[in-house]
Amino acid sequence: MFTPEIVSALEEARIVAVLTLEDPALAPDLGRALLAGGVRVVELTLRTDRALESLVAMRSACPDLIIGAGTVLTPDQVRAVKAAGAAFGVAPGCNPRILSAAVAAGLPFAPGVCTPTDIEQALEAGCTEMKFFPAGTSGGLPHLRAIAAPFAHRRVRFIPLGGLTLENAPDYLREPSVLALGGSWIAPAKTVAAKDWSTIEANARAAANLV
Ligand code: 3PG
């Protein structure tokens, strides 16, 4: 269940950079490179030991960035990312326990879905915005169209993630059910580790220019 504020921010930005950070010291420069390239929304995944610290560091260095937490897999993580100042949370799957924890914590949340059953569960928990994951291997745009059709009248919208690229993003962006999309291609972990901020800024600009 996203808030109207998060929905509007995503409607405007449409691009989400998926980040996996090993070193919180890199978070400020990374955030600045993304903003300089025109990317304002990120999903910072909880896939490293120092993800929460990275979230806090990025937030304080880049107040203009809308920082969501990704790979939120437990109720404790829901509470921890809320306390760390995440603007929203997403998960790879649709876990009713996580969705209840998100409601209780007041964390706008989009579960991951790739089947009609997932979508029904998410709807039942009050979500109309969902992460379509893994977009590429679960069937791409044809699959999204097929699973979205029965729920269009419920105004369900999707954020395709997983296997997206600068090349295939334009087709997804034209799809009416697609709220926003993104991926790790904008700031790959290797490029971040190399502190290659100019490449990340250029990737961000190329992605933002698709919109
Ligand atoms: C995510 O968490 O959204 C995905 O891992 C991003 O997938 P990608 O690395 O294929 O962009």
* Pocket flag, ligand 1, residue 162 (CB < 6 Å): yes
Residue 124 lies in a domain: no
For atom 8 of ligand 1, the residue with the nearest CA is 162
Owning domain of residue 171: 4-109+162-210
pLDDT score recorded for residue 164: 98
Give the residue, out of 131, 138, 161, with the most ligand 1 atoms within 8 A of its beta carbon, to mutate for a pocket test.
Answer: 161
User: Which residue in 5, 11, 12, 43 is the catalytic one?
Assistant: 43
CATH number, domain of 176, equals 3.20.20.70
pTM here? 0.96
Residue 172 lies in a domain: yes
Q: What tens digit of pLDDT does each residue of 32-90 get? A: 999 999 999 999 999 999 999 999 999 999 999 999 999 999 999 999 999 999 999 99
Atom of ligand 1 nearest to the CA of 136: 10
Residue 90 lies in a domain: yes
pLDDT score recorded for residue 60: 98
Residue 80 lies in a domain: yes
Residue 145 lies in a domain: no
SS (H, E, C) the chain: CCCHHHHHHHHHHCEEEEECCCCHHHHHHHHHHHHHHCCCEEEEECCCCCHHHHHHHHHHHCCCCEEEEECCCCHHHHHHHHHCCCCEEECCCCCHHHHHHHHHHCCCEECEECCHHHHHHHHHCCCCEEEECCCCCCCHHHHHHHHHHHHHHHCCEEEECCCCCCCCHHHHHCCCCECCEEECCCCCHHHHHCCCHHHHHHHHHHHHCCC
Residue 138 lies in a domain: no
Tell me, yes or no, if 43 is annotated catalytic.
yes
Q: Quick one: average pLDDT of 147-174?
A: 97
For atom 5 of ligand 1, the residue with the nearest CA is 162
Structural domain tally of the chain?
A: 1
Residue 153 lies in a domain: no
Percent of the chain beyond pLDDT 70?
Answer: 100
User: Which residue in 82, 129, 131, 201 is the catalytic one?
Assistant: 131
Tell me, yes or no, if 131 is annotated catalytic.
yes
Atom of ligand 1 nearest to the CA of 70: 2
Residue 11 lies in a domain: yes
